[in-house]
Structure 1
């Protein structure tokens, strides 16, 4: 985590960060919430965070901005710890759980699709990452509810799960859809198994459904959709969505790291399997449901992205899917292993020492050199080792240079410059930190928001140098 924490102090706002500040200046903090819901999006949780807690709306574009980024990165292991503590109870001590949380955080950082859109662009991390981390806590609360024997405890955990669901669903559709599908399917299966209505889970599904209705049917969503042109039919979107989902899974599993760690953790799983009252074991009762749920969620979300916007799902949404995929992978693998152990009566399990060291060596080699080899995927940063890239951006000086360039730009824009201004292009900005910068077109919406924030009529950067104009 070290390079990502350090890079927070080189983070700067971009794109929607400036737009949010200018809109809050026009509408007021609370008026901005209404404006977004009616004119742009039904993501009510994100709208509240953008309007009330976004540092740029209060004029903080340097230190205060980095402080929020820092808190978001620290929230990742904290959310993993909360999930593990709720699912594993007292089976392990505090430091063992923090170690496990650190491992899961490493896996998330290692090959998440975009660190810039996760941590260093606050409009995005309020919108995507924060609700996704709350989803981990929601899953833990659901496990605690299912395993509690006292009526009061079950009621309290159910209330917590309902409240969390309302907050999560209002963050983003990528978070909302898996919750809706999962809660609905779980309520139906429990009712069929019990041969009566499973009211607690039906109530949870209804709460999730009501929150999704408030989000999906918001007037702002229809205003936004009217501005996009659909290029794909339903069948074309299904085809592209299916292919995109397949590529994601191959990218996430293709280097073998998750497979290797799953085998190494098998002896831990057999020990947990022997404690039937664990919340983890209540969640791991239905491996087939988990398999179908992940496949349907991935496919549906990819389809919706292509069908509604004619574009692939952005990396910030894929970050959420990758976080969910990590949870699903280990829980799903444990569920099937537990099913097999029960059928075969397995009581003890040990991984041979030679296989252990072989798998550990494989993980180390992939971590060190895997990013130098291409696997399935067409995006330039597929299979990149984000941790290595973050160290390069920090220790190689790219982040410090980026910070100096933008600090100088802000100082220049605050002087008595002309109303129509051109600023220098960023020189080799750090891939870990930068989401986007100004365009050459002063009429671009991001350029306009940037200009309005600094009190200019227009702002742009020059055209990039051509190959012929570059120095030999």
Structure 2
């Protein structure tokens, strides 16, 4: 059964790569393209910084999107690159952190499992990989952060980095914090915790982390001081209330800790316990086993807190679902990190449970149940059913595009009325136009195609 685990996990991911070929821009993708077309590439950066957001790196990357270059057919390349990059970053991360515990094939399986769990149980996959404004703002910095976390292993083990590794760690900070405030706070928290752990190991501070922290702090200040932030958050009545934000953040952290649990996660966790018990001698050689108990627990708590506090502070309420995508990813990593650390620290407790209920921990029972729950409970079932809708959705979208271009060419500034989309694949479809031509989604489409207004029928 173990031999088929990796092929089955890879199979679970295949539909997401296929669906990428049927993804199209929507909402903010057109809005940012319009900024570039109206102001030019560099002037658009200042326009967004002063009128909407200080996320300088996300704004720049969104300005380079294929839509702004009138190359809509290049759009599917973005989710393909992000899906592949996300998977590759997990492979690198798992290989580094399990180097003395798992062989290459096993670490590849673990990385693929984490990827499959993440994309199956994240709140809204379209905004993680198929919607440019969400993927650039959240998934791209997540990939870089995962790679940086993998590099930390070399730093802790050897006390130093190669020149290329050093350059990456130093530069990735300003890139990550320039994408969004949530990952900014998580990055700054993580890098300070890593610096403390390095000090406990080597009795000195890491010059790489010091410089990386300073540059990250400068980038954070650039984001935080942007005039556009006050414009974007001005209509939230409960914003900027410190005690209220802390109270709501603690509540949201506890709520999501329970909400993120799934049958698949519990079953794979039981399998992880069995594996750790069977290989406890090798587990002692890993960096995970050398980490003090308080570090993974503190990072877990701070990760959840930092995921919700920026939105509670700036908006006075829960963050959008695309933030939950990121939060769930970190939740998975720290869940397994704490579980493995716990098994290493208290193996006798788990061995007693194993001997008392051997059938509960039997891999021949757990693995089939875990795989079935992985496919039937989360997003995977939608990904497979969406394959039947994708082609029809693509035809409908292209029909809208062609009609918009033809009408604008014949009579610039004309109004158009579309029928609602009939085929809406859950995994790759973000938002449709609305019946209200004054809705900003509609206005972004109309401006991009040189139309006066667009709407859909009721």
| TM-score, with structure 1 as normaliser | 0.83
Partner of 2:293: 287
Partner of 1:24: 36
Partner of 1:360: 367
Question: Residues 308-327 of structure 1: matches in 2 within 5 Å?
Answer: 308-327=314-333
Q: Is the 8 A contact 1:145 1:154 kept in 2?
A: no
Q: Is the 8 A contact 1:146 1:154 kept in 2?
A: no
Of 375, 382, 389, the residue aligned with 1:389 is: 382
Q: Return the offset for 1:64.
A: 0.9
**Any gaps of 5 or more consecutive residues in structure 1?**
372-384, 464-472
Matched, 1:423 2:423: no
Q: Deviations over 1:35-56 (max 9, x none)?
A: 323332222221221122x111
**Mapped partners of 2:100, 2:108: distance in 1:** 13
Matched, 1:99 2:106: no
Judge which range, 131-140 or 423-432, deviates more: 423-432
Q: 1:50/1:293 Cα in 2 relative to 1: closer, same or farther (>3 Å)?
A: same
**Any gaps of 5 or more consecutive residues in structure 2?**
1-12
Matched, 1:414 2:409: no
Q: 1:14/1:202 Cα in 2 relative to 1: closer, same or farther (>3 Å)?
A: same
Q: Return the offset for 1:289.
A: 2.6
**Mapped partners of 2:239, 2:206: distance in 1:** 43
Q: Is the 8 A contact 1:37 1:218 kept in 2?
A: yes
| TM-score, with structure 2 as normaliser | 0.85
**Mapped partners of 1:92, 1:364: distance in 2:** 21
Q: Return the offset for 1:166.
A: 2.1
Of 97, 110, 123, the residue aligned with 1:87 is: 97
Q: 1:368/1:293 Cα in 2 relative to 1: closer, same or farther (>3 Å)?
A: closer
Q: Is the 8 A contact 2:101 2:283 kept in 1?
A: no
Q: 1:193/1:414 Cα in 2 relative to 1: closer, same or farther (>3 Å)?
A: closer
Q: Return the offset for 1:66.
A: 1.2
**Mapped partners of 1:240, 1:90: distance in 2:** 41
* Aligned CA-pair RMSD: 3.0
Secondary structure in 2 aligned to 1:422?
strand
Question: Residues 120-131 of structure 1: matches in 2 within 5 Å?
Answer: 120-131=130-141
**Mapped partners of 2:246, 2:225: distance in 1:** 23
Q: Return the offset for 1:355.
A: 2.3
Q: How many residues align?
A: 437
Q: Is the 8 A contact 2:66 2:75 kept in 1?
A: yes
Q: Deviations over 1:258-317 (max 9, x none)?
A: 2332332235446476476645445xx133232223223323432431342244211111
Q: 1:24/1:274 Cα in 2 relative to 1: closer, same or farther (>3 Å)?
A: same
Q: Return the offset for 1:366.
A: 2.3
Secondary structure in 1 aligned to 2:26?
coil
**Mapped partners of 1:84, 1:315: distance in 2:** 26
Q: 1:189/1:96 Cα in 2 relative to 1: closer, same or farther (>3 Å)?
A: closer
Q: Is the 8 A contact 1:419 1:458 kept in 2?
A: yes
Question: Residues 78-227 of structure 1: matches in 2 within 5 Å?
Answer: 78-89=88-99, 92-148=102-158, 151=160, 153=161, 157-188=165-196, 191=199, 200-227=208-235
Q: Is the 8 A contact 2:101 2:282 kept in 1?
A: no
Q: Deviations over 1:166-195 (max 9, x none)?
A: 221212122111111122234346557877
**Mapped partners of 2:332, 2:323: distance in 1:** 15
Matched, 1:440 2:452: no
Secondary structure in 2 aligned to 1:421?
strand
Of 266, 273, 289, the residue aligned with 1:266 is: 273
**Mapped partners of 1:402, 1:6: distance in 2:** 14
**Mapped partners of 1:355, 1:110: distance in 2:** 24
Partner of 2:256: 248
Judge which range, 86-95 or 130-139, deviates more: 86-95
Secondary structure in 1 aligned to 2:416?
strand
